[in-house]
Each structure stands twice: as C-alpha cells, then as structure tokens.
Chain A
Amino acid sequence: MDGGLLEPSLYAIKAIAILDNDGNRLLAKYYDESFPTTKEQKAFEKNLFNKTHRANAEIIMFEGLTCVYKSNVDLFFYVVGSSQENELILASVLNAFYDSISQILRKNVEKRTLLDNMDAVFLAADELCDGGIILEADSNAVVQKVAIKNDDIPLGEQTMAQITSKYGQQVSAATDRVLQSAKDQIKWSLLK
C-alpha cells in the first residue's frame, strides 16, 4: 500500500487485456516481468476476473497492482499499472482502449464481433501502447491509425445517407447478424 515518489518514467502500463465472460483471455499484453510465464499470467487473469466480473466498480487494487476495468455484454477490458501509478492515467488509457475498440466494432462491443475483427483489435492494442509506454491516448487517433477499410470518419459523425451509400451492403449484413444473434438469444433463454 505504501509508496514513495513515482520514478519519472514513461513506462506506465504493466498490462492490458480483454477477457470473455468466462474469464478466458481473448487478448493480453504484458509489458514487464511482473508475470514472466504464461501460467502466472493466466492465473492472474483468472483471479482478477473473479474479483471484478460481478462488482461493477471500475477500479481495484489487486495483488499489489492497480487495475482499472470496464465491461460490456460479454467482454471485460483491463488496464494494469503499478500501485503507485496515477490512477487517472490508467483510466484514460482504458477509455481510449475501450472507445477505439467500440468504434472499430461499430458499437457492437461483444465477443462475436470482436473475434470477427481480431486483426483490427491487435492493431489497435499495438497503436495504444508500445512496450509499456502510452503511444496514443486518443481513441479517434487510434482508430485512424488502425485505418481499417478506409473509414476515416468515425461512424457516429456520419449522416445516415453517407452510411447507406457507403456501407449499404455492410449494413444489411450487420442487420442480418443482429437479427441472427437476437434469434439465438431467444433460443438460449428458452433452453436455459
């Protein structure tokens, strides 16, 4: 709990991760030697998930580290830093991470869509943080750098006409997908 002054260093992030709603890793990047082996990393993720998946508390001190987190549907986003780190810096990175992924997935922040766009997710994580240094903390800039399928303007700022002309096909595909997942959900709720 105790900490002296922070060493002036740019290395602020110890790890970032996205887990699914069973606590399994979808993406995890560790930037220092806090958890040298995969086994330790996964154990840490499991424990962290168990502590955080029920309480929607946004921040937790865990195993001597400060973890900020955010969840949506079946995804959990984490940013981990040292216990002395400025919590607000970590939170700003988490927001950039979440918002950029959300833009890339066109607001469908859920496991299925994430896995369909895994390449862009990898690229976004890479543009967000490089070896523990925050590379870009503005989600629009991250999305722009990832530049998936030349949509430079974020979806929210486009007019409906633009969207339909530009993504006519994609929209109908997306609608299909939404309908499909709705169907699935009804079906599973019946089964359970």
Chain B
Amino acid sequence: MGRVTSDPVCLYVTCSARRWQLPAQTSSATLRLNRRMLSLKRDKKEEEDGGANPFNNLEKSTVLQEARTFNETPINPRKCGYILTKVLYIINQGESLGTTEATEAFFAMTKLFQSKDPILRRLVYLGIKEMSKIAQDVIIVTSSLMKDMTGKEDQFRGPAIRALCSVTDHSMLQSIERYMKQAIVDKVPGVSSAALVSALHLGKGSHEVIKRWVNEAQEAVNSDNVMVQFHALGLLYHIRKSDKLAVNKLVSKFSKHTLKSPYAYCLLIRIAAKLIEEEDAGSDSPMFDFIESCLRHKSEMVIYEAAHAIVQLKNTTAKDLAPAVSVLQLFCSSPKPTLRFAAVRTLNKVAIKHPAAVTACNLDLENLITDVNRSIATLAITTLLKTGNESSVDRLMKQISTFMSEISDEFKIVVVQAIRSLCSKFPRKHNVLMTFLSQMLRDEGGFDYKKEIVDCIIATIEENAEAKEAGLAHLCEFIEDCEHTVLATKILHLLGREGPRTPTPSKYIRFIYNRVILENAAVRAAAVSAIAKFGAHCDDLLNSCVVLLERCQLDSDDEVRDRATFFVNVLKQQQKALSSAYILNGLQVSVVGLERALHQYTLEPSETPFDMKSVPLATQPITEQRVRDVPGELPSSKPAQDKVAATRQDVYQEQLAQVPELANLGPLFKSSSPVEVTESETEYYVQCIKHTFSNYIVFQFDCTNTLNDQLLEKVTVEMEPAEGFEVTKYVPCASLPYNKPGTTYTLVKLPSEPTQVTGTFACTLKFVVKDCDPQTGEPDEEGYSDEYVLEDVEVNVADHVQKVMKPNFAASWEEVGPENELEDTYALSSMSTIEEAIKNIIQYMGLQPCERSDKVGEGKSSHTLYLAGVFRGGHDALVRAKLALDTSGVTMQLTVRSTDPSVSEILATAVA
C-alpha cells in the first residue's frame, strides 16, 4: 500500500511543524512551512478519500467498458462480482444509463448465468432489476430466471422470482402463472414471500390474473412464518378490497384466529378501521372491539397501531378514547425515543378534538418537555398548550422559548399554530403571546414560518381589539427588516386599514414612510397606498400625508409615482365621499371580469364611456370564514378552495356565453349556489342555479337521467311565473342519455316595477322519452311525451344582491349619505339569541357583514350589525341593524341607505 510508505515522512513533518509553531514567530520560514503543510494536508485528504472509497470518482464509461469482462470465459466470479458491484454502485449514485448502454450491459450480464457462484448470481438479479426498466429485450432472461426459481438452490429461488416479475409484462404473465401459484404455497418462507410480494407489485397493473391466486394466498396466510403471513394477508386484502362483504368476512375471520405476525396485525387493524369509517359505525361495531382488544397485544407496534386507529376514527366519544389514551400515556415514559415520539404525536392529535381526554397525561407530557429529542419536546408543549388552562400558559411559553432555536421550521410552525389557537382561547393572555410571537419574528426562519407568524398576529388583531396596538407595533418593527416582499405588502395593507382607527395614528406613518425610502418598488407602492389611507381617514394628518405623497411623486418606479399622483389629487379635493370611494374602500369588481370587460370594450369602439357598473363584482370568498373555524384542516387545501370560490362566477359567465339564445343579456350580476329541486335518489335528478342579470333571471337546470333504459330528448323545465314575471324563452337540452348530465335554461324577464323582486315559481320537467337497451344505449325509434313535477323555485331578495366587503364601513355610510335612508323597528320574536338573528338577517338580505360585526362578544345583550352589498343594477346598499335581546326575543332597529330609493325599500322589507 502506498499509504504506509508515506506515513513516516508525514509524521516527521507534523512534529517539526509543531515545534516551529510553538514560539508563534511569524517568520517567513514558518509561513512557508505552514503553506507546505497545508498543501500536504490537502493531498493527504484527497488521497484518504480516494483510498477509503474504491468506488469514488468512478467513470460511467470506464465501468461499462470493464463490464465487457463478463463475456470472457471462463468466468472469474470475484472479478466479475467486483465489476458488477461497481455498476450497481454508479446506478445507485444516480448515474443514468442510456437505452443502448443499459442493453449492452444487460446482455453482458446474462453471460454470468454460466457461473454458479451464489454472490455473483444474486448480484446479477439486482442488475436485472435495475436495468429492467431501461434496457430493451429484457424478456431474454425469462427462461434462465424460471430455471432458478424452480431449481434446487433455495437461496436463488426467492430473488429469482422477484427479478423475474420485474422483467415480466402482462402478456407474459400467463406463462409464469402456474409457477407463481406454486411458489406462493412453497414451504420455503423466502420463496413464498417473494412470490406474494411480486404478486402485489404485478397486481397494480393486471388485477384479473392476480385474482385467480386467491386460494393460494388463503393457504399462505396460515403459514408459520410471520412475514409470509403478513404478505399473504396483504395480497388477500388487495384482491378483495373492492368487495366490502368479503373484506368484512376477512377481518372477522382473522381477528378470531390469532395471527402470529405483528405486521399482519397492524394491517388488519387498518382494514378494520377503514371498514368502520366506511360504514360510519361507532364503538358498538365488532370491528371496534377487535381494535380495542389489540390494545392488549404483546407487541408495542400493534398496541400503538390500535391506539392510533382509535384516535383517528371519526365517531369516537371521550369514553372510547380512554383506553387508547392510557396506553399512549404509558408509552410516554418509554426509553425508546421513537415510541415517545409516536405517543406524543398521537396525543397531540387527540388534543385537537378532545382536549379533556388528554389532561390525564399532563404530568407525563410535562416530563417530555425536557426531552433530548426536540421534536418530542415541541409536540409535548403544543399538546399541553391545547389541554392546559390559562394559568399554565406563562410557564409553558417560557419553556418553549428556551429551545425554539433548536427545532426545525416545521415544528416552529406547529408551535405558532398552537399559539394561534391559544390566542382565541385565552384572549386575556394576548400580552404574553404577542411578546413571544414578536420574539419569533425576530429570529431566523424561512418564509413559511414567518408567514405563519404574521398570519397569527393578524388573526389575533382581528379577533381581539385589545391586542391591536401591540400587534401593530410588532408588525411595524418586523417590516423594518423584512426580506419577504409578500409579507411586507400584506402588513402595509393591514396598517393602512387598521392604523388610522387607532388612538395615535401618526406613529405608524414613520414606519410606513421608511419603507418608501428603503424598499423595492412593490413595497413602496403598498406603502404609498397605506399613507393615503391615513390621509383620507384622519383630518389632522391630511396635510402631512399630502406632503409625504408629493415626495413620492419623484419615485423611480412608475407604479409608485402613479399611485402617489392619484392619491395626492384625490386627497386635495377634501371630499369625504371621494376619499371613501377611491382610497378607503377601493374597487369591488372582479379583476378577471374587469379585464374581460375592458378587452370587450376596446374591441368594439363606441361613443359611450366605459361603465364600471357593467363589470361583475368580486364575489366574497365564502371559504375564508370556514377555514378559520377548522384549525385542524390541512393547510394545503386552503388555496385550492379560495381559488374555486373566486372564479365560480367567471366559470358560469363563460358557460352562459356559449349559449347563443342567452347572448345580449349584459353582464352576469350574480349566480346563486345550486339548489336541488328533486330528491337525490329519484329517476331524474335536477339542480337549479339562478343567474341574475340587470333585467332578466336565467334559471339553469342541471339534469341527470338515472334510468339506464331511457333516453330523454327535448328536455325543458316549464315554469309557472309569479305575478309580474314573464317567461320569455326556453333553451331545451336536445338529448339526455343515462348518467350524462345535461343542462336546460329558462329565461325569465323581471317585472318592470322596481320594488317587485321576489316570487315563487312552480316547475315541471317536460321531455320526450325513448326506451332504450340498458346495455348498448340503442334507443327505440318512437318516443312519447312525458312530464315530471319538480319542487318550486324561489326568487328572493338575496338573489338580487351581491356581497361586497367595505373595509371601512363608516366612510361608505357617509359616502352614500342619508338621501334614501329608511328606518324601521322590528320585533323578531322567533329568534332567541342575537347570533341566530344575525345569521338569519344575513341569509335573507344576502349582504356582506363588515368590520367583523357578525361576531358577537360573549354575554352581550345588544349588538350592531353592519352589512354592505350592491343591488342588481349597481346600486350600493348599506344596512345598519341595531339588535337588542330582551325577554320576548330580539328587537331590531334597521336602517338602510342606498343610492336608489327603491332598493332601500326592498331591503327594508326583506326581513319582514
């Protein structure tokens, strides 16, 4: 070895260098020697790596070249084995082989079947598996592998089966089927397992063939070998999983007859849990008894699986959970970190739904706070935060802060989410929590983590008025040094909205203006908008704000300049209405809709100016509220939902535009959510969606024919119009075959009298039936007319109103003015709580609650609800409802303001 010879020199140099370095002289000699040492060290380091790893720096082409040795006879097993290992090594390192390279190596490898060397042979199997997906004509090895799989050498048989299945395609499966069946019931466990596992892999593609192996699988479940039993049960379930009854039998059979394998038990528990969930059964199900009995199994793996399954089930009560929680509690003090982790993680899940069930474990969880595994400690703390009471919050927060820097971002997010739920649970603790959050904001962290904190602070500010000032101050500090543009703009927007309404708005302006000086264009633009909002809302700051904005007019970015110029000019008018419409409450239109309308306008040049009211309004994302209510929901599903809600109306608009009969109705104002007008299990299933236009309503009926021996043609929905309404057109659905949804439209003209907007329509489905063959769908020549009575469709006030969020309700209230104000007092005797009244009022009027006035403080007997929206035709509509609770029910004083007198009248009567 070359290394040994160089060693003494090296040692000598080391010693001399040490001696030279000791007096710490910086003579040139020492420096030179040091440099030599360094280079020597580097050489040695490289040599060390190369020497230690014989596979380092392997060249793909060299290795493949070497693989030609396989063709030599006689075969040298050692040498070939070494080369094959090299090939496997470079593939494992991620080197990709081309088809020709792989095919060439593959064919060379097949020559190695001549050698009987056990290691070499099984390396060949590995090689075959690696290359089976890249090389061509891999079927060539089938016969060699089949020989091995049925041969005498037991240690070849299992691996040979697995290699064979990787080269087999569906057409070849038939020919090996007999051998596979034999292998499954082979008495050698390795062979049987290999066959079962391969069958599962094959079962992903060709289910039919695998199905025929069910008897063999059944036999294999009774094997004495634990792994064979596990694999056989897996295959058996895979074959039968679409047949619920068979799965049911499977579980009840094997839950009685004791399995040997803990893995098989875990699988059986999962199958049982799935059945319980599918049947929506509770703890009275026999499946549940089985799972519960597994809590007393001797293997920890099975006990945990059972506890985990019980915790995950939907219909469990605190009582059902108790045994599972107590085994998890025992695991908490296990010496194995994995067991502690698993237990505390599952307890954490329990705490989301049933915090009371976990309180018994509080003491054990407290001990885990100091666990060396930080993941365990974090989970323990967040669980305690969910189950603990107000008094323990301070102590726990202190404990978390000691190791926040040591845990991964993912867990930090878990902590933030726990704090978020604490904020809403213990509003009085906002001081401690806010301080902690601001501390976290200052620490290092990725975007997702920071975003979570900011969202948490914003949510707390919105829910808790007392926390507002502190929260805003923390956010101001954060944007001073924030590298994420998205977060900075979001915070600036929030400051613009909330800042002006605080007691001392002026202190925020400095923070915002600093952004104008220091940040990128997107943040500067957001800052400019925020400053303008201060100017519009606070009279005493107006002049200073104008001065600041005028400075921004010299900005290098045109968007910033444009915004500044626009705001300066609006603010200088000093008109409340203008400020409210153009600064405080902004545009309420759908951006996609605006783009489309403008595009349309430029295509057809006309004399009339562009009408903003023709643009569809932005629909309030209905999901926002809901998401907050369910904190356990997967974060990833949120954006998808929002997107759907925002574009639903655009989708309808597009759909309706496709129907030539419904052209020229103008822009779509509002689409209702679908209402069922039949029972869901009837012959014909019909849903109705109401689309409101300026002068018309289009009723869209989505019909599904659930009879497989009928074909419907010329399907329409005939409507008996209410007084004043007039049906002008039916758009039939030409043909409605079995199970293919079709759509028919009915166009109704709205009454000319502006205050007449509601009505009830009787609907009948009319069509021509043709009987047809259920199999082929071939219809008869002749058909006959028939009809089917549907439920009535109602048109109510909410269909004429689009929800609009006014961030600054008071400004809008002043903007619309008292001109068309109507006021009345109602006694809502049927309502027993203010919450219920609010819910009903919102539902009847179809307006958007503003300033979070739909949330009532606990135990209050009076409340003011602010609602805003736009009425069909583009008239702003604002409602202020003062509610008071007394013994006879809820009393409401309703004040309606609108830009149109008849709208005020309609809304004022909507509740009555």
Residues on A lying within 8 angstroms of B by beta carbon are: 1-10, 25, 27-29, 38, 41-42, 51, 55-64, 68, 86-92, 111-112, 115-116, 118-120, 122-123, 126-127, 130-131, 133-138, 141, 145, 147-148, 183-184, 187, 190-191
CB of B93 closer than 8 Å to a CB of A: yes
A190 touches B414 (CB 8 A): no
CB of B85 closer than 8 Å to a CB of A: yes
A187 touches B53 (CB 8 A): no
B308 touches A190 (CB 8 A): no
Residues of B687-712 contacting chain A, CB below 8 A: none
Residues from chain A with Cβ under 8 Å of B622 in the complex: none
Nearest opposing residue in chain A for B52, CB measure: A112
Partner of A59, one of B44, B94, B338: B338
B155 touches A118 (CB 8 A): no
- A179 CB, nearest partner CB in chain B, Å: 12
Nearest opposing residue in chain A for B227, CB measure: A136
Measured CA separation A148–B118 after assembly (Å): 8
Residues of B773-828 contacting chain A, CB below 8 A: none
CB of B237 closer than 8 Å to a CB of A: yes
A135 touches B193 (CB 8 A): yes
Encode B262-287 as 1/0 by CB contact (under 8 A) with A. 01001100110110010000000000
B277 touches A92 (CB 8 A): no
Residues from chain A with Cβ under 8 Å of B263 in the complex: 89, 134, 137
Identify the interface centre among A61, A88, A120, A131: most chain B CB within 10 Å of its CB: A88
A-B pairs with beta carbons under 8 Å apart, 24 shown: A2-B633, A3-B312, A5-B312, A6-B309, A28-B92, A55-B374, A57-B337, A58-B338, A59-B375, A61-B408, A86-B308, A87-B339, A87-B342, A89-B266, A89-B301, A115-B52, A119-B84, A120-B119, A122-B123, A126-B122, A133-B197, A133-B234, A147-B155, A191-B44
A87 touches B55 (CB 8 A): no
Binds A, one of B6-14, B462-470, B602-610, B864-872: B6-14
A130-B375 contact in complex given A10-B231, A89-B301, A115-B54, C-beta closer than 8 Å: no
- B264 CB, nearest partner CB in chain A, Å: 10
A145 touches B231 (CB 8 A): no
B11 touches A68 (CB 8 A): no
Measured CA separation A138–B261 after assembly (Å): 12
A61 touches B375 (CB 8 A): yes
Nearest opposing residue in chain A for B3, CB measure: A184
Nearest opposing residue in chain A for B273, CB measure: A5
- B156 CB, nearest partner CB in chain A, Å: 10
Residues from chain A with Cβ under 8 Å of B200 in the complex: 10, 133
Residues of B330-382 contacting chain A, CB below 8 A: 336-339, 341-342, 345, 349, 372-376
Residues from chain A with Cβ under 8 Å of B241 in the complex: 8
Identify the interface centre among A57, A90, A184: most chain B CB within 10 Å of its CB: A57
A10 touches B274 (CB 8 A): no
A115 touches B267 (CB 8 A): no
Residues of B96-138 contacting chain A, CB below 8 A: 96, 118-119, 122-123, 125-126, 129
A190 touches B11 (CB 8 A): yes
CB of B89 closer than 8 Å to a CB of A: yes
A38-B94 contact in complex given A3-B312, A62-B410, A115-B54, C-beta closer than 8 Å: yes
Measured CA separation A115–B53 after assembly (Å): 6
Residues from chain B with Cβ under 8 Å of A135 in the complex: 193-194, 197, 227
B53 touches A10 (CB 8 A): no
A91-B338 contact in complex given A5-B312, A25-B92, A131-B201, C-beta closer than 8 Å: yes
A122-B374 contact in complex given A1-B414, A89-B301, A134-B263, C-beta closer than 8 Å: no
A115 touches B308 (CB 8 A): no
Measured CA separation A91–B301 after assembly (Å): 10
Encode B209-242 as 1/0 by CB contact (under 8 A) with A. 0000000000000000001001100100100010
Residues on B lying within 8 angstroms of A by beta carbon are: 3, 7, 10-11, 14-15, 41, 44, 52-55, 81-82, 84-85, 88-89, 92-94, 96, 118-119, 122-123, 125-126, 129, 155, 158-159, 162, 190, 193-194, 197-198, 200-201, 227, 230-231, 234, 237, 241, 263, 266-267, 270-271, 273-274, 277, 300-301, 304-305, 308-309, 312-313, 336-339, 341-342, 345, 349, 372-376, 408, 410-411, 414, 632-634
Partner of A42, one of B94, B125, B201, B336: B94
Nearest opposing residue in chain B for A111, CB measure: B52
Residues from chain B with Cβ under 8 Å of A29 in the complex: 92
Identify the interface centre among A29, A42, A87: most chain B CB within 10 Å of its CB: A87
B162 touches A130 (CB 8 A): yes
Partner of B85, one of A87, A90, A118, A191: A118
Partner of B277, one of A5, A59, A64, A131: A5
Nearest opposing residue in chain B for A3, CB measure: B312
Residues from chain A with Cβ under 8 Å of B55 in the complex: 115, 118
- A70 CB, nearest partner CB in chain B, Å: 10
Partner of A4, one of B81, B312, B411: B312
Partner of B634, one of A2, A61, A89, A141: A2
Measured CA separation A183–B4 after assembly (Å): 10
B304 touches A88 (CB 8 A): yes
Measured CA separation A10–B266 after assembly (Å): 10
- A178 CB, nearest partner CB in chain B, Å: 15
A119 touches B123 (CB 8 A): yes
Residues from chain A with Cβ under 8 Å of B194 in the complex: 130, 135
Measured CA separation A24–B912 after assembly (Å): 74
Nearest opposing residue in chain B for A112, CB measure: B52
A5 touches B304 (CB 8 A): no
Residues from chain A with Cβ under 8 Å of B162 in the complex: 130
Measured CA separation A137–B226 after assembly (Å): 10
Measured CA separation A28–B92 after assembly (Å): 7
Residues from chain B with Cβ under 8 Å of A120 in the complex: 119
Residues from chain B with Cβ under 8 Å of A137 in the complex: 227, 263
Measured CA separation A58–B411 after assembly (Å): 16
Residues from chain B with Cβ under 8 Å of A28 in the complex: 92
A88-B342 contact in complex given A111-B53, A118-B85, C-beta closer than 8 Å: yes
Residues from chain B with Cβ under 8 Å of A123 in the complex: 119, 122-123, 126
Nearest opposing residue in chain A for B118, CB measure: A147
Measured CA separation A66–B336 after assembly (Å): 16
B14 touches A191 (CB 8 A): yes
Residues from chain B with Cβ under 8 Å of A87 in the complex: 304, 338-339, 341-342, 345
Nearest opposing residue in chain A for B308, CB measure: A86
- B846 CB, nearest partner CB in chain A, Å: 34
Residues from chain B with Cβ under 8 Å of A111 in the complex: 52-53
Q: Which 6 A-B pairs have the closest CB atoms?
A: A38-B94, A57-B373, A8-B270, A10-B234, A87-B342, A58-B337
A5 touches B309 (CB 8 A): yes
B41 touches A191 (CB 8 A): yes
Residues from chain A with Cβ under 8 Å of B414 in the complex: 1
Measured CA separation A25–B3 after assembly (Å): 25
Identify the interface centre among A25, A41, A42, A89: most chain B CB within 10 Å of its CB: A89
Residues from chain A with Cβ under 8 Å of B339 in the complex: 87-88
Residues from chain B with Cβ under 8 Å of A61 in the complex: 375, 408, 410-411
Measured CA separation A104–B373 after assembly (Å): 30
Residues from chain B with Cβ under 8 Å of A126 in the complex: 122, 125-126, 129, 159
Measured CA separation A90–B41 after assembly (Å): 41
A187-B11 contact in complex given A25-B93, A88-B342, C-beta closer than 8 Å: yes
Measured CA separation A178–B305 after assembly (Å): 44
Residues from chain B with Cβ under 8 Å of A41 in the complex: 94
Partner of A130, one of B7, B197, B237, B374: B197
Nearest opposing residue in chain A for B414, CB measure: A1
- A15 CB, nearest partner CB in chain B, Å: 12
Residues from chain B with Cβ under 8 Å of A91 in the complex: 336, 338
Nearest opposing residue in chain A for B631, CB measure: A2
B270 touches A5 (CB 8 A): yes
Partner of B304, one of A27, A86, A134: A86
A59-B266 contact in complex given A5-B273, A133-B231, A190-B14, C-beta closer than 8 Å: no
Residues from chain B with Cβ under 8 Å of A130 in the complex: 162, 194, 197-198, 201
A7 touches B274 (CB 8 A): yes
Residues from chain A with Cβ under 8 Å of B82 in the complex: 119
